[in-house]
Structure 1
Amino acid sequence: MSDLFHSLSLSLALLLLFPFFFFISIAAQSNDTNFPGCFSYNCKNITISYPFWRIDSETPTQYCGYPGFGINCSNNDGREIPIAYLGGDSYYVRNISYDPRWIALVDYDVSTVVPRDGCPRVRHNIDLEDMPFNFLGQNVNLSFHFNCTGVPYFAREIRCLSTPANKSFVHTLNSEPENFNWTEYSCHEEVVTTVFDVFGPRTTLENGFPDALSKGFELRWGRTEDCEKCEESGGRCGYNTNTREDMCFCSGGKTTTGHCNEHLNRPFEEFKLHRYLPLSLLQTLNAIAKSFSLLKSSSFIVIFLLVFDVEIRVLEVLTWKVQSNEEDERTSEFKETVVNVVIRHWRMMITGGWN
């Protein structure tokens, strides 16, 4: 299959030599991002957009976005406060970047949006569950211990949370000696959290942890497996809370429970093409051909020849691969399948039969 993608890449490279192909790509992208069922919101200058979605006061029957990516735009004394949730715990959304993709979060309990007396107190670990998040940037894991009988030498006491009988302290995770005996300190609670590494020669752990907590941490998100097919077809993933089914929001406002390329479903069903070709390959060919229907005749002829070359190269490589396997009894069926798909591809483009 590497030969297939190598051949396809060479042909596609030719297309990039033509400046008007850039116009086509922009036009196709603009059309694909027209999703009436997927709304964007602003909450305290934070844009809530796909794959994030806004949690309304009444739970919606469906949403466009990733499960668990809902953001609540709460109102606190006239101030909008965007709140996300990880493992059932609340986090203040400090910022979201969509390119590159990252979200900056602060534990709500120690954020600046919550009035406090200057002594922050973390109450839970960060639980990413099975969500597609990874920590981003230079981080450090802090371990907090509360209501202990003493303070070990490698830790720093949190004086504002300590009394003569009950001590609280913080240290970097795994800084304790191997086989350290924690039982002699009889701590009632331990909480581990991740923050930006703001510590250095002038910022010690003892005086720097409140600022580190208020800055929070950043997470990079990736694609979920359940949304892969929908997104590869140009759609946006969502969920219906009534039917408990995954949804795919397509350009133009249509929704399905699979993916958006219904005209590609027919070749799959009729010829079982998925046994030979990855979905992403046919989607690439389909998107190129569909975009070219926007051109006038003079440009169309040139592009027609180039894209036809792409599909012929693919046909040649795939046919050779199947023929080289003498034990494969589906060779003739395969050749007929690819030929029919290529013919149908261009017939639909020339006649404008895109649905």
Structure 2
Amino acid sequence: MMSLSKPFTIINFIFLSNLLVSPTLTLSQCRDSCGTIPINYPFALDDGCGAPQFRHMFNCSTDLFFLTPSGSYKVQSINYDKKTIIVYDPAMSTCSILQPHHDFLMTDIQSALIPPTSDTVFALLNCSIDSPVLNHYSYLCFNFSSHSCDELYGSCNAFRVFHLAANTTSPPCCFTGYDTVKFMSMNVLDCTHYTTVTNTDGLRGIGPLDWVYGIKMSFAVPDSGCERCVQSGGTCGFDTETEGSLCLCSSSSNYTRECAVGSFTAGANGVTSSILLQAFFVIVLIYQLFCPL
């Protein structure tokens, strides 16, 4: 049996017990940015990070993209204070470019958790006179900031082709909200193209050439004790099988609330540490009693 050069003291005991029970506080591998855009809770890029409600909604290549059934939408900015995110559809028509029409689709979960805001307007262009939004559902169309269809067709090079093709009056258009395109496809709406404009409350007197094209969405942050986890040095995440909330503290230690050094109550790792500490304490007592120096 190896002999010790000096007796154990309370200092020795505290030092060795800390080695046993203190988890390594190396943060889990949850990326916190994509390009210049910070990635904070509830969003995440890596599975098991962030809130499970937003699982698999984002992808980071060279840029950050919001993923929906209708495509990938480039994220232009995320405002965590105002809880808004602005995305841009690279396949969407704007005042300067006309592209093949397509639908904007979101899953039911996305529509509930991160819907377009009320100050995002969908402009349905080149509609047929038989379009439902010009007949039975005409109440879905509204005037925003005193802008008109003729203004869009006359000011935008990309949309002027609709006016020229009509030969006489400009074809109908419809300014509407997200719920319209959520429940009716472009084929049902009988409009060939659409564009979206954000911050429409501040566009009175501003022409289409200077509008901000894109889709602003709002989100809520789930109340899962994340703040407590972050304050303890952890990263908020979840179990990928059960989707139960976790505080990701290290590569080997995950807890349900916070990363507490030497915690004996949060998870299996804490229980193991507690058993080891008790065993070590017994060994020290036996040594002091039967192996005096």
TM-score (norm 2): 0.49
Higher helix share: 1
TM-score (norm 1): 0.42
- The one of the two structures with greater contact order (alpha-carbon pairs below 8 A, sep at least 6) is 2
Greater C-alpha radius of gyration: 2
